Amino acid sequence: MPQFAYGLLLGLAAFACILGCGREEPKQIERDRGDENASLARWTLELASPDLSRAVAAAETLGQMGPAAIPALVGALQDSRQEVRDAAASNLGGMREAATTAVPALVLALGPPGSETLTEAAKALVKIGSGGVPALAAALDDGREAVRRRAAWALGKIRPAAVDAVKPLARRLRDPVAAVRERAAFSLQELGLPASSVVPELVEGLTDEVPDVRASVAAALIQVGPEASEAVGRLTEVLATDSAARVRELAAKALGRIGSAAQSAIPTLTAASEGDPAEEVRRAAVGALRDVRSR
């Protein structure tokens, strides 16, 4: 066959394919969409299956379908079975920012009360990120202890996007439940320098009756560093008088991080470096003295 004739046939065949494919494409898209909708409906029904393994598998499958499956997974957060609720929350978290519309439902699912474990809802909110910060900050005022504690935990993990939650977290340092106070202080520690805006609240927290709370507050002041200069007086007192070695150690380290603004603490640091009964406190005081004198 002559070369030009061969080329002509190829061109005609390609043109015919383009015309044919163009006519079929809308129908194919319509069929695909119909299949997707049917699949979504099918797996949504499977969420209610009395067979636990099928219901959990349905949540996993819906999680792969993306935002279209969010309403179904949000509904599953109310399932009577913990395994199904966990699977729904986990798969919402897997969508990350795309699942921001599910944040209110996930906040409501931060329970159950009386459990010390973190819920999949809390972990999902961390994965969703900054979109969940306002709702989590509001949840710090929830009447349920478990919700407040888990909201505080999640905000610490969303750093630095959770900077706007610093003041709500600081208010929880006065929570009636020690576990919430400790968690709030720890999250302020994780947020770091932005906690400089709540140094007065942290200073007050150094007088908490629970050693673990005082330790978390002192650790938060370490992260604030030189911006925590107004805490020098209280930290010095804590170093000299606190009954818990861990708290005294962290107070010494906080004074060291504050640096030259903690000059007034040098006598107390010196005494601690020489005579504190706990070796870890003596070591921390020696390091703090070096930092206070050199900065």
Peptide bond before 160: cis, by omega within 30 degrees of 0?
yes
This prediction's pTM = 0.78
Q: Confirm whether 203 is domain-assigned.
A: yes
Domain total in the chain: 1
Residues 6 or more apart in contact with residue 107 via CB below 8 angstroms: 121, 125, 132, 135, 136, 138, 139, 147, 151
* Overall residue count recorded for the chain in this entry: 295
Q: Confirm whether 166 is domain-assigned.
A: no
CA angle 212–214–190, rounded 5-degree value: 85
152: tokens are 């505080």
Q: Confirm whether 236 is domain-assigned.
A: yes
Interatomic CA distance for residues 170 and 25, integer angstroms: 58
* Residues of the chain with confidence (pLDDT) below 50: 1-34
State which H helix or E strand residue 50 sits in.
Answer: none
Tally of CB atoms within 10 A around 141: 13
Please name which of 84, 67, 200, 222 lies closest in space to residue 131, comparing C-alpha atoms. Answer: 67
Q: Confirm whether 5 is domain-assigned.
A: no
Mean pLDDT score across all residues of the chain? 87
Q: What CATH number corresponds to the domain at position 197?
A: 1.25.10.10
Quick one: pLDDT at residue 117?
54
Q: Confirm whether 215 is domain-assigned.
A: yes
Q: Confirm whether 250 is domain-assigned.
A: yes
Residue span of the structural domain in which 216 resides: 192-295
Quick one: pLDDT at residue 76?
94
Q: Confirm whether 43 is domain-assigned.
A: no
Angle between helices 279-294 and 266-275 (to 10 degrees): 150
Quick one: pLDDT at residue 19?
43
Q: Confirm whether 78 is domain-assigned.
A: no
